[in-house]
Amino acid sequence: MSHASYNDIAEWYDSYLRENSIYHGVVLPCLLELAGDVRGHTICDLACGQGWFARELAKQGAQVTGIDLADRLLTLARQYEEQEPQGIAYQQDDAQSAFSLPNSTFEGVVCVLALMDIPDLQAVFQTARRILKPGGWLVFAITHPCFELPHAQWITTENGQIVRAVRGYFQEGNWKSDGGGVRSRVGAHHRTLSTYLNTLVAANFTLERIVEPMASGERAEQVPGNREVPSLLLIRAHLL
């Protein structure tokens, strides 16, 4: 296994998830809505991190297995499991291969804000396809590829309007933000929207629903531009 960049920021990232309003105020409600009724479902959380969404799925009645490359994040996940047992199984593995997971095992797969961290997008979608049962579903969340990219920035116009300025959209590749947060620490792989969707379809998935959440409440106060432009994209698809 290659070095997991999140090992270097595991404790910071855990605190960041708990304290940043975009996760509990925007991401979580949309993920739960897309996942639907998961009671009794077997679900794999690919690149589960410290298990924050795995725990939410388990609370909804799902039987959850989480895999991640970063052993320090998995240590945190297991600590949370010990403190509040949910029956979640955590194991170290790479979402690009997931050799520890047998074929046709899960009814659902989730991958939350992790595809941007992973070099081989096609391999992750193929992993999801392999471990899902026929007709199984996939839900994933990513930073919005149209608006969260290397040269994007918020601009306030002369009349006070907040706009998102974007350039270099077609230049795919790895980058790091200089604005703080996760992407300034571990970077991201920028890909176009068409790359994400075409790779998903090539893995034999059918698109069901797309969500581009508009921020409200605390998140909108922190980032007013998210009332106008989404920073996240969430997708549900299923196997043909």
pLDDT for the residue 2? 43
pLDDT for the residue 123? 98
pLDDT for the residue 53? 97
Does the pLDDT value for residue 3 go beyond 60?
no
User: Mind listing the pLDDT tens digit for each residue in 118-156?
Assistant: 999 999 999 999 999 999 999 999 999 999 998 899 999
User: Mind listing the pLDDT tens digit for each residue in 56-67?
Assistant: 999 999 999 999
What topology does CATH give the domain 5-239? Rossmann fold (3.40.50)
* Vertex 37: Cα angle to 44 and 128 (nearest 5): 25
Domain ranges of the chain: 5-239
Q: Considering the chain, what percentage of its residues have pLDDT values greater than 90? A: 80
pLDDT for the residue 4? 73
Mean pLDDT of all residues in 218-230: 86
Mean pLDDT of all residues in 221-229: 86
User: Mind listing the pLDDT tens digit for each residue in 98-125?
Assistant: 999 999 999 999 999 999 999 999 999 9
pLDDT for the residue 217? 83
pLDDT for the residue 146? 96
Rg of the chain over CA atoms, in angstroms? 17
User: Mind listing the pLDDT tens digit for each residue in 16-34?
Assistant: 999 988 899 899 999 999 9
What gap in Å lies between CA 26 and CA 209, rounded to an integer? Answer: 17
How does DSSP assign 93-122, residue by residue?
Answer: --TTT-TTSPSS-EEEEEEES-GGG-S-HH
Question: What is the Cβ-side half-sphere exposure of residue 130, based on CA atoms within 13 angstroms?
Answer: 16
pLDDT for the residue 134? 96
pTM: 0.94
CA nearest to 235, candidates 153, 151, 143, 130: 143
Mean pLDDT of all residues in 30-59: 97
Does the pLDDT value for residue 219 go beyond 60?
yes
pLDDT for the residue 182? 87
Between strands 132-143 and 106-112, the pairing is: parallel
